[in-house]
Amino acid sequence: MLEILATSLLESVSGLIFGKVIQIAVNKGVRRRGSLSLANQRKDTNTSDKTPSLPLISLKGELGNDLMCAYKEFIQNNDITAINNYIQKAALESDITLVVEFSRKIEEDVRIQLGRRVEYLISHVEEIPLNAFPTIAKRVWNFVRTINTVHKGPKIQLFLSMPVVLGFQLGQLIGLSRYNIELFHFEKGRYSKIPSVKRRMESTDVG
């Protein structure tokens, strides 16, 4: 079970950061347990997949940095031990903060206002081509889905800085009632928690 989760995590991180191309290379490495180097990744990138180049996304944060270190350990040494150690550590965290910043940098503001650490920071504060929106939304959603599994259904405090349409597409993928997500909105210099959307309108929702 742990190895299956580790494989899923490797796929998710690769898909988030690099897109489909490098994700394929990691899948091959996990299955064959052979030598998987960065040179092999570049070879697969050049010959195995003709997907157009997509923006690189960085993964940081308190636990995001731990995950990236474990990911690099696997890429360099084909050793999954660090990934398994991360999974065991993450399973103890049931309340996490996830910041996704594509329009402007907000991680520092979130950290200061909440007075707590940011476990995961997904960042790419550069222009994103419009035709890449659906793919970017899927990459972020897949990562959210994976960390939800790793953390065993945690409360996720979610902060977004992105184009409205991209945020809507991400919401379409995440859906309702699948995750315990608290969404925050920035207005007048501060972040406020927004009530969750319900499928059925309650009588108190009508003015």
pLDDT at residue number 67: 95
Residue 69: pLDDT band with limits 50, 70, 90: very high
Taking all residues of the chain, what is their mean pLDDT, rounded to a whole number?
82
More confident site: 27 or 184: 184
Contact 163, 102 (CB under 8 A): yes
N residues, the chain: 207
CA-CA distance, 23 to 39, in Å (whole number)?
A: 14
72-90 tens-digit pLDDT: 999 899 888 999 999 999 9
Q: What is the pTM of this model?
A: 0.82
